[in-house]
Amino acid sequence: MERIPLAVDTSVFRPGDQNAARDSLGIPREKKILFFGSYLHDDPRKGMSFLADALRILAVRLRQDGGSPGVDRAVLLVAGVTSGDWLDALPFRRIEMGYIDDDARLALAYQASDMFACPSVEDAGPMMIPESMLCGTPVVAFDTGGAPDLIRSGETGFLAKYRDSGDLAEGILSLLGARNAGGMREAAWAAARRLHAPDVVTARYVELCTELAEERP
């Protein structure tokens, strides 16, 4: 069985200057930005309850670890429809963007961020993983769906144990303090482009069609 990933528009989802993206969105340059979101946060398939637990664990770790950025330096960038109730209980400052229906603005959010967190537990993609990585932003996600195809822990992000909030927190913490952030951003872009760039996907469909045609009697 041939499995060909969906194409992502690389003219929109591409690396950009992080400071320029932050200035455009009104995000502080000096903070560590953790971006996450989904259309509806209360959809259990999106795993926001696991992320909430992970962020509570993260807050404790940041207070204990003197070498970490600190709770005051980490800012949550949130996209999607949310009541805010679970976010209010967290000790992090947050910036809510609401539902983003413009790809160019979504790309800016990825470019402005230090990482993207994807806590989905039931999802064929999700497409936000390759979108983020094409913008050069590493991803922390559970080991499910399309995440294992793109994420290599310590190289392009962090692949956490399935439904393990503690491991998800460890992944976020590791990216917050990553010493090879620049190299990781380049590797994330390259990994996503290798699978999801339109020219790559088109070539794979052409190759598949050619093979099928040759196999016909």
**Tally of CA atoms within 13 A in the half-sphere of 151 that contains its CB:** 31
Number of domains in the chain: 1
pLDDT classification of 66: cutoffs 50, 70, 90 = low
Residue 94, amino acid: R
Residue 110 lies in a domain: yes
Closest CA to 30 of 114, 96, 146: 114
User: What does each C-alpha distance from 79 to 58, 96, 132, 148 come to in angstroms?
Assistant: 20, 6, 13, 23
| Model pLDDT for residues 2-42, shown as the tens digit of each residue | 789 999 999 999 999 999 999 999 999 999 999 999 888 88
Average pLDDT over residues 141-162: 96
Is the pLDDT confidence value at 153 over 70? yes
Residues 6+ apart with CB under 8 A from 151: 129, 139, 141, 157, 158, 159, 191
Query: Quick check: 131 and 39 in contact, CB under 8 A?
Result: no
Question: Domain of 82: which CATH number?
Answer: 3.40.50.2000
Tell me the C-alpha distance between 23 and 18, whole Å: 9
Q: What pTM does this model have?
A: 0.93
Q: At what angle do helices 181-196 and 198-215 cross, to 10 degrees?
A: 30
The answer to the question of residue 145 being in a domain is yes
Beta bridge pairs of residue 157? 139, 153
Cα separation, 20 vs 103, whole angstroms? 17
Does residue 36 fall inside a structural domain? Answer: yes
How confident is the model over 80-99, as a mean pLDDT?
87
| Residue 10 domain-assigned (yes or no) | no
Residue at 62 is within a domain: yes
Enumerate long-range contacts of 138-144, CB under 8 Å, 24 or more apart. Answer: 138/114, 138/175, 138/178, 138/184, 138/185, 138/188, 139/115, 139/188, 140/115, 140/116, 140/168, 140/171, 140/172, 140/175, 141/117, 142/47, 142/50, 142/118, 142/168, 144/120
In a domain, 129, yes or no: yes
Would you say residue 2 lies in a domain? Answer: no
Is it the case that residue 132 has pLDDT exceeding 70? yes
Percent of the chain with pLDDT over 90: 75
Integer-rounded Cα radius of gyration of the chain: 18
- Print the domain residue range for 140: 18-215
pLDDT computed for residue 69 by the predictor? 62
Nearest-CA neighbor of 52 among 112, 92, 106?
A: 92
Residue 97 lies in a domain: yes
The rounded distance, in Å, linking the Cα atoms of 177 and 193 is 25
The average confidence (pLDDT) of the chain is: 92
Categorize the per-residue pLDDT at 68 as very low, low, confident or very high, splitting at 50, 70 and 90.
low
